[in-house]
Amino acid sequence: MRRVLGPLLALGVVLGAVGVFRATAMTFHERIPAGSRLEVRATASWRGHPARAIELSRGLAIMCAAEASARARVRSFVWHDEGEFEFVVVPAFDAPDRRQFRGCLTDLQLPLLRVAVDAMHTEMATDDDE
């Protein structure tokens, strides 16, 4: 009996540990209402003509939004002096997609352009607003 009890106990401990690890490591997506929006404020540093930095920043925002979610669209891209810009993504992203979006904006290597995300704010719409 003891020969069977020891391996069964060890198997139970291993299965329990795997279950706990799986629950903490898995990514869970949540439903985001269509009327929600993600407001992003970022800063770009670049070499070369500022007009090119504006085009590259806008293109980067559009591409990263599409990478994070196929249904996301960039709205109202506004460029301010000194490389600061802001834009709105509709609909907003859930937490895993926001992390992917931020990582894309800051980590993607574009020649002559680097972007730092200063702030991201989500405005959630209710299901009644849709």
DSSP 126: P
Identify the residue with better confidence: 39 or 3. 39
Domains along the chain with CATH numbers: 37-129 (3.30.70.3400)
Calpha distance 51→35 (Å, rounded): 32
Q: Give the phi and the psi of residue 34 in degrees, each rounded to 5.
A: -60, -30
Confidence (pLDDT) at 17: 78
Find, among 46, 42, 50, the residue nearest to 74 by Cα: 42
Banded model confidence at residue 34, pLDDT cuts 50, 70, 90: confident
Confidence (pLDDT) at 130: 47
Instruction: Taking residues 49-54, report their average pLDDT.
Output: 88
Whole-angstrom CA distances from 18 to 4, 8, 23 are 21, 15, 9
Mean pLDDT of the chain: 86
Identify the residue with better confidence: 109 or 70. 70
Confidence (pLDDT) at 119: 95
Banded model confidence at residue 12, pLDDT cuts 50, 70, 90: confident
And the tokens for 85?
């810009």
Instruction: Taking residues 106-118, report their average pLDDT.
Output: 90
**For the chain, what is the radius of gyration of the CA atoms?**
22
Instruction: Say if residue 28's pLDDT is above 70.
Output: no
Identify the residue with better confidence: 126 or 76. 76
